[in-house]
């Protein structure tokens, strides 16, 4: 368990939007989440039509790490409502059994105003996940449990971008809005 703080620090570092200014970080977040959305559309043919029918959507990219009884993760998100884009960060923490590291992309399509308001007001998601995945960024195929499911007015799609992990966890996600002015870690381009 001595390596858990190091693991959390690594996940935090890899989950940061890069850039030397808030504007640069926003541009990089838009690019990273656009690439993630392209990946999700490739893995989930119904995702594009769900976005078109939804009232808003959140697309995120980041990493998940699994080390024995704990899992951690984090990343960046763009939240789209009409022509407006807001920026979010997320962190995850879980308990269960697992080992591995993977870069992930996920999409939340809000189907009701109540569901979208719940996300904006509270920013929490929790659920049980069990999967084994392996993917290299240059490979076309993957062995993964790419998932999609409906939860209380939200259609959720998840894809593994690269990495390998096997886990059975109960994991919670916390989302918070950011404008990238008060980042803990600054990256210079």
Confidence band for 104, pLDDT divided at 50, 70 and 90: confident
Length of the chain counted residue by residue: 189
Q: Among residues 29, 41, 40, 151, which one has the least CA distance to residue 88?
A: 29
Mean of pLDDT over the chain = 74
**Pairwise CA distance, residues 76 & 74, whole Å:** 7
Structure tokens at 58: 């959140």
Question: What SS3 state is found at 169?
Answer: strand
Structure tokens at 19: 């850039």
> Could you tell me which residues are beta bridge partners of residue 86?
79
Residue entry with tokens 């390596």: 3
CA 64 to chain centre: 9
Structure tokens at 27: 């541009």
Q: Among residues 10, 36, 31, which one has the least CA distance to residue 19?
A: 31
Structure tokens at 177: 């809005």
Helix (H) or strand (E) holding 38: helix 22-43
pLDDT: is 74 or 184 the higher one?
74
Which segments within 5-83 are labelled E, that is strand?
Answer: 56-81
Confidence band for 181, pLDDT divided at 50, 70 and 90: confident
Give the residue extent of every domain in the chain. Answer: 4-178
Q: What phi, psi does 53 have (nearest 5°)?
A: -90, -20
Residues 48-69 pLDDT 10s: 999 999 999 999 998 766 666 6
Computed on alpha carbons and rounded to an integer, the radius of gyration of the chain in Å comes to 16
The predicted pLDDT at position 17 comes to: 59
């Amino acid at each position: 368990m001595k390596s858990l703080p190091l693991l959390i620090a690594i996940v935090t570092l890899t989950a940061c939007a890069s850039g030397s200014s808030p504007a640069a970080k926003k541009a990089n977040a838009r690019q990273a989440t656009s690439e993630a959305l392209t990946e999700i559309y490739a893995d989930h043919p119904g995702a594009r039509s769900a976005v078109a029918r939804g009232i808003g959507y959140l697309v995120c990219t980041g990493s998940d790490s699994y080390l024995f009884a704990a899992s951690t993760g984090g990343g960046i998100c763009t939240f789209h409502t009409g022509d407006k884009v807001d920026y979010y960060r997320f962190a995850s923490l879980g308990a269960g059994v697992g080992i591995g590291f993977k870069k992930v992309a996920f999409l939340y399509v809000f189907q009701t105003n109540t569901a979208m308001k719940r996300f904006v007001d509270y920013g929490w998601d929790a659920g049980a996940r069990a999967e084994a995945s392996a993917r290299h960024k240059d490979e076309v195929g993957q062995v993964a449990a790419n998932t999609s499911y409906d939860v209380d007015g939200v259609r959720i799609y998840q894809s593994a971008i690269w990495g390998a992990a096997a886990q059975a966890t109960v994991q919670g996600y916390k989302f918070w809005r950011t404008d990238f002015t008060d980042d803990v870690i600054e990256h210079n381009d």
